[in-house]
Amino acid sequence: MNMIALIDNSSMKASCRLLISCRNSRVFGFSPAKALNTSPHNSCLNFCFKFHSIRQYSSYPFHFSRSQWILDSTQKSSVASLSYGQSRVIMRSYSYSILPKPKRGLSIIARIVSNVRDFSRSIEKHVNDNNFEKIYVQGGLNVKPLVVEKIDKDENIVGEEDSRIEIVSEDVNEENLEGLNNAKVVSSTREKSNIEKEAWRLLRDVVVTYCGSPVGTMAANDPADKQPLNYDQVFIRDFVPSALAFLLNNEGEIVKNFLLHTLQLQSWEKTVDCYSPGQGLMPASFKVRTVPLDGDNFEEVLDPDFGESAIGRVAPVDSGLWWIILLRAYGKITGDYALQERVDVQTGLKMILNLCLTDGFDMFPSLLVTDGSCMIDRRMGIHGHPLEIQALFYSALRCSREMLTVNDGSKNLVRAINNRLSALSFHIREYYWVDMKKINEIYRYKTEEYSMDATNKFNIYPEQIPQWLMDWVPEEGGYFIGNLQPAHMDFRFFTLGNLWSIVSSLGTPKQNEAILNLIDAKWSDLVGHMPLKICYPALEYEEWRIITGSDPKNTPWSYHNGGSWPTLLWQFTLACIKMGRLEMAKKAVAVAEKRIAIDRWPEYYDTRTGKFIGKQSRLYQTWTIAGFLTSKMLVENPELASSLFWEEDYELLEICVCALSKSGRKKCSRGAARSQILV
């Protein structure tokens, strides 16, 4: 149906179930028996799919159907709200199907820009508000005229010059637009290139369905791969660029299904040698399996992997962080903020945050993790406090602060988030940053200092500075190092962590600019024949043997050890657009476009300049395909990127954890952090 609504009711087939242990599982924080008063004869199957019958449990029925789109005034539904002075973009598509889109489509985009934060996200609170603006499109393209109901807005909330409605259509008559004020028709004139058409075809071919509904994309679909291992599964990390490609193409159903199904998998209790991971852990991946029943009947089940089957048996720390980031992106792009407000989603969000914010022995605000717990999922010497995890952690905390429903039960968590954001931003900006000035300072460090006034707080020995670094960093450039621990600084340049430091504003504006200056100056090292290096430089000789354990897949300038990963292109594009350097992004996309389809969309490239396809690289790698598509759409429509990055939050600079401490310490370096911004 072609109509716009704020709540979608749908249904899932009851023949599908999740592999959840009824006895031990606590889905979304409560016991199945207590929640549903299930009898001993009821199964997990009945439990998992009775959510739709409990109206008080969720503001959004837990089922999906393309046939019903209704506005239910008795249910809580989300509308655009303003957060921290940033605009939210509402995009509603008429077709959420992952199948090829019909020839005619219509979407309405309402852009709201304001410096006033609106704390309400509920329609119920605005039903009788004459200042609230609502839009209904009745019928569809075959109905004339197009009916739009518009209620006068409050000029103090939304300025006339900052509010507009765009109607994007490939086939809409001008006469259908009568009565629309401040509206314009934007026609899609550019024909997709053959490479883009191929990429979309390949992306749709790897869509995984569960009970007839799309729930994700396989990691790779290489027809020549005789041992797919876990590449035929849906990875949370890998699905993010696929999700963004679908969202930017106005196809949100698959992303919504993915978010909800992985949320259910969160409460699993898997074990590695009889040890259960902390509550709130998200799986690294999942697979849809077909299980035979009595007779000729079969049913589909979702089987997650929390690391108990992974190479190295490492739990994925970044999966929950990516899930939170994608949840925010879904709301920003589709305008479906009701999904964020569901009780089950809020509970799952809190579980991830509680897992990450749990107090331990560590004294740093950065997150302590084991080796191989992120995109670099093999031994590469990144255990401790790797930059990639810290940047994703910071992004997830900023997302959570926007999405958490503030009430008596969550106010302490919100306070903890604010304190951690403040401490983490200062810690990374102050101690992880290196440029020529900082390197010279480290070069003259005095060691064995003991006092609160110590300059060399982590007892770093100047001899750790590698020779290549002194000649590599340009005068106007700099970057965040890969890791920091007592007596240890990992000076390698890790691309993902630095790019997300820009995207999330973990770095100062000056630092963010310097990172792009470095990439531009060292283009041949970090981009070369195929963007982008996952890290630079590679570990070689004895260092490679000791740190990687002589990993034959991570040989120098291959895979995680200095290999080039095309999927990093979309994050580079996002960072460039944020910093106003679109031409750099276009240049990188053009470099990739020359070879990526000819080479059959490899997972990664080898050698110093990324000249050869990786020796063990899977072909037709999904996040390579999706990363390219997302980059192309962002380059052609840079304004869409504003929904995916964060600007500097000056409120964080005013929050000082030291001032909140009971110890009463007066010495604090917060002034140094503020001075970096105000320069």
Beta bridge partners, 353, equal none
Last residue of a domain, one of 267, 291, 319: 319
In percent, how much of the chain has pLDDT > 90?
59
Asked whether residue 112 is assigned to any structural domain, the reply reads no
Report pLDDT for 244. Answer: 98
Where does the pLDDT of residue 676 fall: very low under 50, low under 70, confident under 90, or very high at 90 and above? low
Instruction: Answer for the pair 70, 9: CB distance below 8 angstroms, yes or no.
Output: yes
Instruction: Answer for the pair 255, 243: CB distance below 8 angstroms, yes or no.
Output: yes
Are 474 and 576 contained in the same domain? yes
Report pLDDT for 105. Answer: 39
Are 299 and 436 contained in the same domain? no
Q: Please return the burial class of 269, using the count of CB atoms within 10 Å of its CB with bins 0-12, 13-18 and 19+.
A: middle
Where does the pLDDT of residue 668 fall: very low under 50, low under 70, confident under 90, or very high at 90 and above? low
- Give, in order, the Cα–Cα distances in Å from 148 to each of 70, 183, 187, 213: 17, 11, 20, 32
Report pLDDT for 651. Answer: 82
Asked whether residue 310 is assigned to any structural domain, the reply reads yes
Asked whether residue 176 is assigned to any structural domain, the reply reads no
Are 555 and 509 contained in the same domain? yes
Last residue of a domain, one of 300, 319, 338: 319
Asked whether residue 261 is assigned to any structural domain, the reply reads yes
Asked whether residue 27 is assigned to any structural domain, the reply reads no
Which residues have a Cβ under 8 Å from the Cβ of 201 and sit 6 or more positions away?
A: none
| Whether pLDDT at 202 is above 70 | yes
Report pLDDT for 295. Answer: 81
Q: What is the tens place of the pLDDT at every residue in 57-96?
A: 333 333 333 333 333 333 333 333 333 333 333 343 333 3
Beta bridge partners, 83, equal 86
Where does the pLDDT of residue 199 fall: very low under 50, low under 70, confident under 90, or very high at 90 and above? very high
Q: What is the CATH number of the domain that holds 617?
A: 1.50.10
Asked whether residue 20 is assigned to any structural domain, the reply reads no
Q: What is the mean pLDDT of residues 493-522?
A: 98
Where does the pLDDT of residue 660 fall: very low under 50, low under 70, confident under 90, or very high at 90 and above? very low
Which residues have a Cβ under 8 Å from the Cβ of 437 and sit 6 or more positions away?
A: none
Q: What is the tens place of the pLDDT at every residue in 322-352?
A: 999 999 999 999 999 999 999 999 999 999 9
| Whether pLDDT at 139 is above 90 | no
Are 421 and 452 contained in the same domain? yes
Q: Which residues constitute the domain of residue 546?
A: 320-674
Which segments within 403-528 are labelled E, that is strand? Answer: 433-435, 478-485, 488-494
Instruction: Answer for the pair 235, 241: CB distance below 8 angstroms, yes or no.
Output: no
Q: What is the tens place of the pLDDT at every residue in 97-134?
A: 344 443 333 333 333 333 333 333 333 333 334 333 33
Q: How far apart are CA 182 and CA 199, in angstroms?
A: 36
Are 285 and 311 contained in the same domain? yes
Q: How far apart are CA 365 and CA 480, in angstroms?
A: 16
**102: phi > 0 → left, psi -120 to 50 → alpha, else beta; which?**
beta
Are 328 and 311 contained in the same domain? no
Are 308 and 343 contained in the same domain? no
Are 209 and 346 contained in the same domain? no
Asked whether residue 525 is assigned to any structural domain, the reply reads yes
Report pLDDT for 18. Answer: 53
Pairing assessment for the beta strands 234-235 and 285-292 based on DSSP bridges: antiparallel
Q: What is the tens place of the pLDDT at every residue in 568-621?
A: 999 999 999 999 999 999 999 999 999 999 999 999 999 999 999 999 999 999
In percent, how much of the chain has pLDDT > 70?
67
| Whether pLDDT at 389 is above 70 | yes
Residue among 6, 46, 3, 1 at smallest CA distance from 22: 46
Last residue of a domain, one of 287, 319, 351: 319
Asked whether residue 32 is assigned to any structural domain, the reply reads no
Instruction: Answer for the pair 251, 98: CB distance below 8 angstroms, yes or no.
Output: yes
Are 368 and 307 contained in the same domain? no
Where does the pLDDT of residue 671 fall: very low under 50, low under 70, confident under 90, or very high at 90 and above? low
Report pLDDT for 296. Answer: 85
Mean pLDDT of the chain: 77
| Whether pLDDT at 12 is above 70 | no
Are 632 and 654 contained in the same domain? yes
Are 466 and 325 contained in the same domain? yes
Q: Identify the H or E element spanning 304.
A: strand 298-305
Instruction: Answer for the pair 242, 256: CB distance below 8 angstroms, yes or no.
Output: no
Which residue type, as a one-letter code, is found at position 549? Answer: G
Q: What is the mean pLDDT of residues 623-635?
A: 98
The total of structural domains in the chain comes to 2
Where does the pLDDT of residue 451 fall: very low under 50, low under 70, confident under 90, or very high at 90 and above? confident
pTM of the model: 0.74
**Is there a cis peptide before residue 516, judged by omega within 30 degrees of 0?**
no
Are 485 and 619 contained in the same domain? yes
| Whether pLDDT at 184 is above 50 | no
Report pLDDT for 159. Answer: 38
| Least confident span in 293-307, 460-474, 558-572, 652-666 | 652-666
Where does the pLDDT of residue 677 fall: very low under 50, low under 70, confident under 90, or very high at 90 and above? low
**How large is the C-alpha radius of gyration of the chain?**
25
Q: How far apart are CA 625 and CA 642, in angstroms?
A: 22
Report pLDDT for 271. Answer: 63
